[in-house]
Amino acid sequence: MDLSYTRAEEAFRAEAREWLRDHVPAEPLPSLETAEGFAAHRAWEAELAAARWSVVSWPEEYGGRGVDLARWLVFEEEYWAAGAPGRVSQNGVQLLAPTLLDHGTAEQRARVLPSMATGATIWAQAWSEPEAGSDLASLTSRAVRTDGGWLLSGQKTWSSRAAFADRAFGIFRSDPDADRPHRGLTYLMFDLRAPGVTVRPIGRLDGKPAFAELFLDDVFVPDKDVIGEPGQGWRIAMSTTGNERGLMLRSPGRFLAAADRLVRLWRTEGDPADSALRDRVADAVIGARAYQLFTAGAAARLTTGAPSGAESSLNKVFWSEYDLALHETALDLLGPDGELADGAWAEGYVFSLAGPLYAGTNEIQRDIIAERLLGLPKGRR
């Protein structure tokens, strides 16, 4: 067992650190969840992309550097330690791009990925529906065959940043007569400004329009924007959520940086006699290290060719609960200032509240852990 970096990895780290030191904005950008902040974050993606730092793990032909998992982890550590902005293109980068790399055509990859890498096109996810949340396979939005493509209709919701995004990807019911709910679904990409699309922003708990619902009324999608075979949408989407829950969604670097900020806050604001709060700060340090080492092991297993499967559910429950506990500790350290809506930790706290909900609720994840990792019998949800 080895935790050392190669010289090449250290050189890569130094290169990333130097670039970030010279380019990360001195002042935090406005909130990602506002029109102004969205535009500022989009411009930051272009700046990253110009130096080929926006999608380091992608193949070079699409704007990446083709680096392995170990170097991706190194980049993420440096990125978050540098206090760099949140990633406005993350839904596309983390969900759609791996899907296209696994299931898309060469034409689709060449057309979609380069503009995703620069932030010129920002993608939103169109999966959940008002009546299909945890039970996603019960979705009812339709894709109906037409000349040269498909017509989409129905309602999608909880689509993060769709109020500002350019395009969306989602799954639709293309064969209502299929014998099982998860059969007869098709995975498609569509333009959020196409005729027939209505986007209604929804305020999050802090009032920022972080979500939207999408109303689709005979929206035309050409055949070239279907991913994989029609009817295979569920299988393709689940391979994406495996990725989403797995390594790429929340890198350890993010939590190492957050724990570091928390320790600094505790050293300036903490009451040394308050051992209960001190223990929670220690748990944040321990949790970030646990997540870093867990990920190092998972990355090593992936490198040996082992599949990432239900283990990613352990990962998702861990980081989502960790992130929330860390932010709650920060607010407690701030005392009366913890209530301020524009406090340094306020937006992160509101964001962390959503962690146990999205990307598959933690209850669904615990069912997966129990059934697939522990071998317990299936039961009613």
Partner 1 sequence: MTFLPTGEQRAFARSLDAMLTAADTPAAVRAWAGDDPGPGRALWGRLAEAGVCALAVPEEYEGTGLLPVELAHAFVELGRHAVPGPVVETVATTVLLGELARLGDPDPAKRLLPALATGERTATLAIAGAEGVRHSVPYALDADRADTVLVVRGEELWRAPGHGQVRGSADPARRLARPAPGGELLAKGPAVAVAAGQARRWAMLATAAQSLGVGLALLDRTVAYARQRSQFGTPIGAFQAVKHRLADTLLALEFARPLLFGAAVTMTPGDLAAAKVTTGEAGYTAARTALQIHGAIGYTEEPALSLWLRKARPLRDAWGDPAACRAAVLGAYS
Give the nearest distance from C-beta 238 to partner 1 in angstroms: 19
Q: Could you tell me which residues come within 8 angstroms of residue 37 by beta carbon, excluding any fewer than 6 positions away? A: 29, 30, 31
278 interacts with partner 1 by CB under 8 A: yes
CB of 346 to partner 1, least distance (A): 25
Q: What are phi and psi of 374, to 5 degrees?
A: -100, -15
Mark residue 16 as left, alpha or beta (left: phi above 0; alpha: psi -120 to 50; beta: remaining). alpha
> Measured between alpha carbons, how far is 14 from 273 in angstroms, rounded to an integer?
40
By C-beta, is 68 or 175 nearer to partner 1?
Answer: 68
Q: Respond yes or no: is residue 27 known to be catalytic.
A: no
Q: Tell me if 272 contacts partner 1 by CB under 8 A.
A: no
Other CB atoms within a 10 A radius of the CB of residue 329 amount to 22
Q: Does 9 bind partner 1 (CB under 8 A)?
A: yes
Sign of the alpha-carbon torsion through 124, 129, 130, 132: negative
Cα 87 to Cα 38: distance, rounded to the nearest angstrom: 10
φ, ψ of residue 225 in degrees (nearest 5) = -105, 15
CB closer to partner 1 out of 130 and 297? 297
Angle between helices 252-269 and 69-81 (to 10 degrees): 30
Could you tell me how far CA 27 lies from the centroid of its own chain? Answer: 24
* Closest distance to partner 1 from the beta carbon of 343 (Å): 23
Q: Cα(34)–Cα(86) distance, rounded to whole angstroms? A: 13
The C-alpha atoms of residue 8 and residue 109 are separated, in whole angstroms, by: 29
The answer to whether 134 contacts partner 1 (rule: CB under 8 A) is no
| Among the listed residues 120, 296, 325, 353, the single contact to partner 1 using CB under 8 A | 296
Shortest Å, Cβ 67 to partner 1: 14
**Applying CB under 8 A, does 376 fall inside the site for partner 1?**
yes
CA gap 246, 128 in Å, rounded: 20
| Alpha carbons 238 and 135: distance in angstroms, whole number | 13
Candidate list 199, 314, 324, 357; residue touching partner 1; CB under 8 A:
314
Residues from 237 through 266 that contact partner 1 (CB under 8 A): 263
Give the residue, chosen from 176, 195, 305, 375, that forms a contact with partner 1 under the rule CB under 8 A.
375
- Residue 268 lies near partner 1 (rule: CB under 8 A): no
366 binds partner 1 (CB under 8 A): yes
The per-residue DSSP string of 286-309 comes to HHHHHHHHHHHHHHHHHHTTPPP-
- Nearest residue (CB) to partner 1, 194 versus 370: 370
User: Closest distance between partner 1 and the C-beta of residue 142, in Å?
Assistant: 32
Binding residues among 57-116 for partner 1 as defined by CB under 8 A? 70
Task: Check the CA dihedral 290-296-297-299 and report its sign.
Answer: positive
Say whether residue 324 binds partner 1 (CB under 8 A): no
| Binding span for partner 1 by CB under 8 A among 4-12, 101-109, 132-140, 332-340 | 4-12
300-318 burial, b at 16+ Cβ within 10 Å, e below that, comes to eeeeeeeebebbbbbbbbb
How many residues at the interface with partner 1, by CB under 8 A?
49
Q: How far is CA 111 from CA 167, 288, 291, in A?
A: 13, 38, 35
Residue with tokens 């829950």: 245
Point out which span in 139-147, 205-213, 347-355, 361-369 binds partner 1 (CB under 8 A): 361-369
Closer to partner 1 by Cβ: residue 279 or 339: 279
309 near partner 1 (CB under 8 A): no
- Choose, from 244, 269, 311, 321, the residue flagged as catalytic: 244
Which residues are bridge partners to 167 per DSSP? 123, 191
277 contacts partner 1 (rule: CB under 8 A): no
Q: How far is the CB of 319 from partner 1 (least distance, A)?
A: 10
In eight-state DSSP terms, residue 373 is: I
User: In whole angstroms, how close is the CB of 344 to partner 1 at the nearest point?
Assistant: 20
Q: How far is the CB of 160 from partner 1 (least distance, A)?
A: 26
Residue 359 near partner 1 by CB under 8 A: no
Count of all residues that appear for the chain in the document: 381
Binding footprint of partner 1 on the chain (CB under 8 A): 1-6, 9, 70, 263, 275, 278-279, 281-283, 285-287, 289-291, 293-294, 296-297, 299-301, 303-304, 314, 317-318, 363, 365-367, 369-371, 373-381
**Active-site positions?**
244
